[in-house]
Structure 1
Amino acid sequence: MVSLRTPARGGLERGGILRHTTKLVALAATVALVVAGCAKKEEPGGAAASDELCADKSGAGPKIGLAYDIGGRGDKSFNDLAAAGVKKALDDLDATCEEAEAAQEEPDSAKEERLRTLAEAGFNPIIGVGFVYTEEVVKVAKEYPDVKFAVVDGFGEGPNVTNLVFSVEQGSFLVGVAAGLKTKTKKVGFIGGVRGPIIDPFAAGYKAGVAAVDPAITVDMKWLSDKGDAKAFANPAGGKTAATALYDAGSDVVFHASGLSGGGLFDVAATKPDGTWAIGVDADQYQTATPEQQKRILTSSLKKVDVAVFDYVKAFKDGTTKAGFDLYDIKRDGVGYSTSGGHLDDVSSKIDEYKAKLVSGELTAPSKL
């Protein structure tokens, strides 16, 4: 979910067209992951992450270079979704791949060299996962004009650079509707990593969705940090503290957009009685939760990075990639909400009515608080 360098949101105007980005605001940040040594991480579904994804080099299709955001495969969210899109390309397009992961607190030059190494090795296309790669991709893409580059959540420019971007406020609107329909206390919560153009659209969409159901419902928001750092996005303890405060203050549904910090929300929710809910983000987080957590995960706001990555690789194979912004909104099924666990069975038809209005344009989800 989280990318570590933040562009000014004003340069990304949606409404069918993402306009020219004229000013970029960099927010220096590093998300530090607490991992024991070099232990294997889990992929969605519980599989251990290893070199298995790119082990088979026999395919005759696209040769994909995949540069992960910090944490790499096994984060149960953003990076894992990118890996899932590549996996589908291996299966359906006879592609091969090579993975490369960002290190904690590395300089920007390390990202450049990672991208150059993939380009020099003949990988094409090359996909950077997250805003953090944007400026480095733009620079390296100029050096390799015959290589196609994509950046998930990117904001770069260049004839061989594609930005895969998402209307996350729309998926967040739908989980806000879900929260509004399920709350009994008429008070719901939100945990965000940090205020700003990355997370504000999640909060704004959620708040609007709740209000669409009942304007009298209160939305209480907690922010984990004043900058995009580990405290914001790799802080399960902070997420636990925020969740406890929200539940104790009367919220019975809490949505997070806080990266790995959201694990703290799920831990707290698992201890709560029936009728208390948590909402995940990006991936269907029900699928990677413990059985006790699953009982309390109402839904997740989906950001289909896997779909965007696969589509981009397919377009590369077909020779139809386009530079600029490739927007995944609700009309393209690029965002949405999950129904795993059956906790929304009683209200899903109502949520889908709101979804249809977003698709038709009758309703618009805001991206600013």
Structure 2
Amino acid sequence: MKKRNSLIALTLVMALGLVGCGKSAPNNAANANEGNNATTEAAASDLKVGFVTDEGGINDQSFNQGVWEGLEKAQKDFGVSVEYLESKDANAYKPNLETLLDNEDDLIVGAGFKMGDAISEEAKANPDVKYAIVDVAPEDAPDNLLGIMFKQEEPSFLVGYIAGLTTETDKVGFVGGQESTIIWGFEYGYKAGVDYAAKELGKEIETKSQYIGGFSDVQKAKAIATQMYQQGCDVVFHAAGGGGDGVIEAAKEQGKWAIGVDRDQYEMAPENVLTSAMKNANVAVHNLVKDLAEGKEFEGGTTISLGLKDEGAVGIAPTSDKNVKKEILDKMPEIEKKIVEEEIKVPYDKESYEEYKANL
């Protein structure tokens, strides 16, 4: 499989403008088709796009919702037909993908590392249909499958740095969904950012970490975060999909800070969401559809990896100025520059984190 770090014609300049732009999502594929008959801002296109969520669901205030918002904007901008199906668990991936195939969608998009095997199998079995998977770098990808990856460790470092400069107790937390290479990137990038701030301040800051084992258990995430707050953490970052709603609820109840993920989650708790580590899946998917609608070649068989050097691909939430101190925000451009220029080599797993710590 070929891997490329370029954007493959994905123009990522409108990232912040896309956040939160989606309309109310329909409840299933049938309703989606019905809703898509509404007047759009562009002439109707023959292109049909389907989306299969992971277990977080379409309204997870996180990654799935971001993908759907990108597709909704593509519908308005290019007149394409879009629909989605929700997966309550991993057993629903294959039948949902096959339903969209039966609907004769031209492009079928999946999200989440747990869907990687299922969508690869479907792509190989249906070479005339285009597939894309967000947050997966497929091995031996066929020519009709595109992987879309993000360097999630980079925005996680930024919010970790903010957390380290914000904490008053010198204890912060991380709540992950299910352990994987993707979520490790969030965890260790965050820890590295906290450590960088601690060194700058000349003190030690403890980072507690715990996983909920999935991406939908709101109550478990809330219980874990509540315990962290009661143990002295005053900032907790989550990378737990829809389950992360529980972390934000705990922050509200405990009067502490939470850090959101994937989308700008400020509106969920304006007094308690400090910032959010954003992976702008909406932008990547929107521009993929744009390329297809304009007749550009689909470059399957590759994986793109988007980070801070790709303007608008990842970053901190635009609402960060609501709760993050100005003197901290003023430092962010320089930190971002050091990451882009690799003066700061952000870790993405335990091994690279240990190397980072040894050289800090």
Structure 2 length as normaliser, TM-score? 0.80
Match of 1:252 in 2: 234
Contact 2:56 2:243 in 1 (8 A): no
Q: Structure 1 residues 44, 59: CA separation in 2 closer, same or farther (over 3 Å shift)?
A: same
Mean Cα displacement is larger for which, 67-76 or 350-359?
A: 67-76
Contact 1:180 1:217 in 2 (8 A): no
1:151 Cα deviation after fit:
0.6
1:306 Cα deviation after fit:
0.5
Please list, as runs of the form range in 1=range in 2, the aligned pairs for 1:180-195 lying within 5 A after superposition: 180-195=164-179
Match of 1:208 in 2: 192
- 1:68 matches 2:53: yes
Higher helix share: 2
Find the partner of 1:309 among 285, 294, 307: 285
Contact 2:264 2:275 in 1 (8 A): yes
SS state at 2:129 partner: coil
C-alpha distance in structure 2 between counterparts of 1:224 and 1:191, whole Å: 6
Mean Cα displacement is larger for which, 154-163 or 312-321?
A: 312-321
1:13 Cα deviation after fit:
9.4
SS state at 2:182 partner: coil
Match of 2:247 in 1: 265
Match of 1:337 in 2: 316
Structure 1 unmatched runs, 5+: 1-10, 18-42
Match of 1:22 in 2: none
Match of 1:33 in 2: none
Letter of the structure 2 residue corresponding to residue 180 of structure 1: G
Mean Cα displacement is larger for which, 327-336 or 165-174?
A: 327-336
Mean Cα displacement is larger for which, 69-78 or 81-90?
A: 69-78
1:221 Cα deviation after fit:
1.9
Contact 2:173 2:233 in 1 (8 A): yes
In angstroms, what is the RMSD of aligned CA positions? Answer: 2.7
C-alpha distance in structure 1 between counterparts of 2:222 and 2:98, whole Å: 40
Q: Structure 1 residues 344, 240: CA separation in 2 closer, same or farther (over 3 Å shift)?
A: same
Contact 2:152 2:182 in 1 (8 A): no
1:272 Cα deviation after fit:
3.6
Residue by residue over 1:6-31, the C-alpha shift from the partner in whole angstroms, topping out at 9 and shown as x without a partner, is xxxxx9999x49xxxxxxxxxxxxxx
Q: Structure 1 residues 307, 209: CA separation in 2 closer, same or farther (over 3 Å shift)?
A: same
Contact 2:158 2:316 in 1 (8 A): yes
Please list, as runs of the form range in 1=range in 2, the aligned pairs for 1:1-369 lying within 5 A after superposition: 16=5, 48-50=24-26, 54=33, 55-57=35-37, 59-104=44-89, 106=91, 111-156=93-138, 157-215=141-199, 216-225=203-212, 228=213, 232-273=214-255, 276-287=256-267, 289=268, 293-317=269-293, 318-323=295-300, 324-332=302-310, 333-340=312-319, 342-346=322-326, 347-369=328-350
Contact 1:62 1:93 in 2 (8 A): no
Structure 2 unmatched runs, 5+: 7-18, 38-42, 351-360
Residue by residue over 1:320-364, the C-alpha shift from the partner in whole angstroms, topping out at 9 and shown as x without a partner, is 321210111111131111142611251212122211211222222
C-alpha distance in structure 2 between counterparts of 1:320 and 1:252, whole Å: 49
Structure 1 length as normaliser, TM-score? 0.78
C-alpha distance in structure 2 between counterparts of 1:250 and 1:171, whole Å: 24
1:203 Cα deviation after fit:
0.9
Contact 1:283 1:303 in 2 (8 A): yes
Q: Percent identity?
A: 34
C-alpha distance in structure 2 between counterparts of 1:102 and 1:240, whole Å: 23
Higher relative contact order (CA 8 A, sep 6+): 2
1:64 Cα deviation after fit:
0.7
Q: Structure 1 residues 348, 53: CA separation in 2 closer, same or farther (over 3 Å shift)?
A: farther
Contact 1:176 1:208 in 2 (8 A): yes
Residue by residue over 1:167-206, the C-alpha shift from the partner in whole angstroms, topping out at 9 and shown as x without a partner, is 0000100001111121222222212234332321111000
Contact 2:135 2:182 in 1 (8 A): no
Residue by residue over 1:57-89, the C-alpha shift from the partner in whole angstroms, topping out at 9 and shown as x without a partner, is 482152112122224321111111111010111
SS state at 1:254 partner: strand
Contact 1:85 1:306 in 2 (8 A): yes
